[in-house]
């Protein structure tokens, strides 16, 4: 990932302003340690911190069209850039980078080109012919982006809060799938897929169509000129990404540069479920596997850095971000600059365990829609910023625009969890890759039940965090919580502890407003309670109440092991023996 910062229409073209923009841009240097660039035109500044993944030699930014009248600073990857270049035969390209195509598309098609882009991206484009500018963010918010406004009428765009929070009168999250145009002075949505209206789809489930769509999504993300690998927890999603990557690596440019053997990475406390499961998958796939260990104290010591980089006080996000933050540092130390990751599958397919309680297909589908729309506040934010903190790029094939359209067009009746029919969560995805002749994964891995990342790294991790917060937040402090933090008041000592750290780094009111919360928080507890009132006494933000879902779903009527894989029945006793298994909130 790169870091972008734009100050647009600031009515100040002094040297002092240039120095300030450079100073703020340096706050994003962790996102792009390879090169820095700044373009200054009148009272417009476009700054860039580059992480070089494609065309490291000549792809420095900002980028331009032929006559340098259109300038763009981009964070992300445009996977269909070669195809788009073929549609621009009269344009001359100066670099091999995948992002240069944006300037030429604008020159050819105007603002309406954004939906032509297939990838993850945030960008700011300035047309110096009329000082018109636009900014946009990818469909579901894989890349992070914020927008702010100054008292002088300026508009600020930054990859992270820390790039604009000290200089803007007001700032907020730049919504995914939107474009800001200076002509209208407002945001408008450019991403309007059929599923977004939450209308119930009716396309019959075809496992081969789904399989091909996901394979294509993974393959297109193998576009890289630098060493890369896969994050592998041993769960279904990361294992499928690793399996497909390993199958198709040999025919890629990356294989010619770095070899055909895939590197995989996993993090956990010693003896954690993820480490064991990931090793099993790595052995099956034949990857060069790297295990990274951390202690509870290592994680606690990193919490302040994590909150500074992740820019949230959401409890579940911080719990899961910390191991990923630590792992990313280790991965970068090996010379790897890009990793494939499995975020998004649970939102698209209803993989969280509370989906067992969905009363009908309509409710199931609407909840998956809501989860996808909230991804930019949770898992996308975690994956993007935890890796970017160390100059590492995470690519997420489950959130491919084309793949989402295929998956969200399936009649949700097929996604419903029906243990009596052998259909556990994400059955449609599992079935699509259940190939008897040429297995992608062993059966028991393909049908392994979900493990929450923050628990999978080791069950004592969350308990250690709670114990640490208990030592630093008193009962008296909690009594006054509503007065100290009237917005999104923390209800646990762990939440209060994170909030204190966040407010120290980001004390402005707009900063705290960028973090979701309150009664309508995307935490799934509210929906779970709506579907089953018995959940009302289980309000841990990680959803450790999932224990009840496991028991009710698998004890009442367990299908044969042949349907679910040889070790599915072993799930229940393992869950009973630990504090609980979390589902993503």
Hey, which residues are catalytic here?
A: 2
Two tokens, residue 257: 């540069």
577: Cβ–Cβ under 8 A, 6 or more apart, which residues? Answer: none
What's the rounded Cα separation, in Å, for the pair 176 and 140?
5
What's the rounded Cα separation, in Å, for the pair 385 and 135?
20
What's the rounded Cα separation, in Å, for the pair 84 and 468?
52
Q: Is the dihedral of CA 402, 403, 405, 406 positive or negative?
A: positive
CA angle 162/163/169 to nearest 5° reads 90
Q: In terms of Cα–Cα distance, which of 489, 484, 428, 371 is closest to 210?
A: 428
Burial class for 89, CB neighbours closer than 10 Å (0-12, 13-18, 19+): exposed
3-state secondary structure of 133: strand
**Residue ranges for the binding site for ATP?**
231, 267, 341-342
Q: Pairing state of beta strands 178-181 and 186-189?
A: antiparallel
Q: Where are the alpha helices (DSSP H) in 289-335?
A: 296-310, 315-333
Task: Output the 3-class SS for 216-272.
Answer: HHHHHCCCCCCCEEEECCCCHHHHHHHHHHHHHHHHCHHHHHHCCCCEEEEEECCCC
| H or E segment and range at residue 276 | helix 273-285
* Lookup result for tokens 């407002």: 186
Q: Pairing state of beta strands 146-149 and 178-181?
A: unpaired
Q: In terms of Cα–Cα distance, which of 146, 311, 343 is closest to 231?
A: 343
| H or E segment and range at residue 64 | strand 63-64
3-state secondary structure of 420: helix
426: Cβ–Cβ under 8 A, 6 or more apart, which residues? Answer: 236, 345, 346, 349, 350, 351, 450
Eight-class DSSP state of 39: E
Q: Is the dihedral of CA 449, 450, 455, 456 positive or negative?
A: positive
Two tokens, residue 554: 């698998």
Q: Pairing state of beta strands 63-64 and 44-50?
A: unpaired
């Amino acid at each position: 990932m790169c870091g972008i910062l734009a100050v647009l229409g600031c009515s100040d073209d002094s040297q002092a302003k240039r120095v300030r923009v450079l100073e703020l841009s340096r706050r994003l240097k962790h996102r792009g340690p390879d090169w820095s660039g700044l373009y200054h035109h009148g009272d417009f500044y476009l700054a860039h911190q580059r992480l070089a993944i494609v065309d490291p030699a000549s792809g420095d930014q900002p980028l331009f069209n032929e006559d340098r009248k259109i300038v763009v600073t981009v964070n992300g990857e445009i996977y269909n850039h070669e195809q788009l270049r073929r549609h621009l035969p009269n344009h001359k390209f100066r670099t091999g980078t995948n992002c240069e195509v944006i300037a030429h598309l604008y020159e050819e098609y105007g603002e309406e080109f954004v939906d032509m882009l297939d990838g993850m991206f945030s960008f700011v484009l300035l047309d110096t012919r009329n000082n018109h500018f636009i900014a946009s963010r990818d469909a579901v918010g894989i890349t992070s982006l914020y927008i702010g406004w100054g008292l002088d009428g300026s508009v600020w765009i930054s990859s992270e809060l820390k790039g604009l929070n000290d200089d803007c009168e007001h700032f907020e999250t730049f919504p995914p799938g939107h474009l800001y145009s200076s002509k209208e002075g407002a945001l408008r949505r450019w991403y309007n897929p059929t599923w977004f209206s939450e209308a119930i789809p009716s396309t019959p489930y075809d496992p081969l169509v789904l399989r091909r769509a996901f394979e294509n999504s993974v393959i297109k993300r193998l576009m890289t000129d630098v060493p890369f690998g896969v994050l592998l927890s041993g769960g279904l999603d990361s294992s499928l990404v690793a399996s497909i990557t390993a199958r198709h690596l040999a025919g890629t440019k990356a294989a010619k540069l770095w070899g055909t053997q895939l590197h995989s990475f996993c993090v956990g406390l010693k003896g954690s479920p993820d480490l064991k499961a990931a090793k099993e998958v790595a052995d099956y796939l034949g990857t060069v596997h790297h295990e990274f260990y951390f202690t509870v104290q290592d994680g606690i010591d990193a919490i302040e850095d994590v909150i500074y980089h992740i820019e949230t006080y959401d409890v579940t996000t911080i719990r899961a971000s910390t191991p990923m933050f630590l792992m990313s540092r280790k991965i970068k130390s090996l010379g790897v600059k890009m990793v494939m990751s499995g975020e998004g599958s649970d939102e698209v397919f209803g993989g969280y365990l509370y989906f067992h309680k969905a009363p009908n297909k309509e409710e199931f589908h609407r909840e998956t829609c809501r989860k996808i729309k909230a991804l930019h506040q949770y898992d996308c934010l975690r994956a993007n910023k935890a890796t970017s903190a160390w100059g590492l790029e995470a690519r997420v094939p489950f959130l491919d625009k084309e793949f989402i359209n295929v998956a969200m067009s399936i009649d949700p009746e097929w996604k419903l969890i029906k243990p009596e029919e052998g259909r556990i969560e994400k059955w449609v995805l599992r079935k699509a890759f259940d190939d008897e002749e040429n297995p992608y994964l062993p059966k028991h891995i393909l049908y392994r039940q979900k493990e929450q990342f923050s628990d999978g790294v080791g069950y004592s991790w969350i308990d250690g965090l709670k114990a640490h917060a208990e030592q630093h937040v008193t009962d008296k402090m909690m009594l006054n919580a509503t007065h100290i933090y009237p917005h999104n008041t923390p209800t646990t000592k762990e939440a209060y502890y994170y909030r204190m750290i966040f407010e120290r780094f980001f004390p402005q009111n707009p900063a705290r407003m960028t973090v979701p919360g309150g009664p309508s928080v995307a935490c799934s507890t509210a929906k779970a309670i709506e579907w089953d009132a018995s959940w009302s006494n289980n309000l841990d933000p990680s959803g450790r109440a999932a224990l009840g879902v496991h028991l009710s779903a698998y004890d009442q009527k367990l299908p044969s092991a042949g349907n679910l894989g040889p070790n599915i029945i072993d799930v229940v006793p393992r869950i009973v023996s630990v504090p609980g298994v979390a589902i993503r909130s």
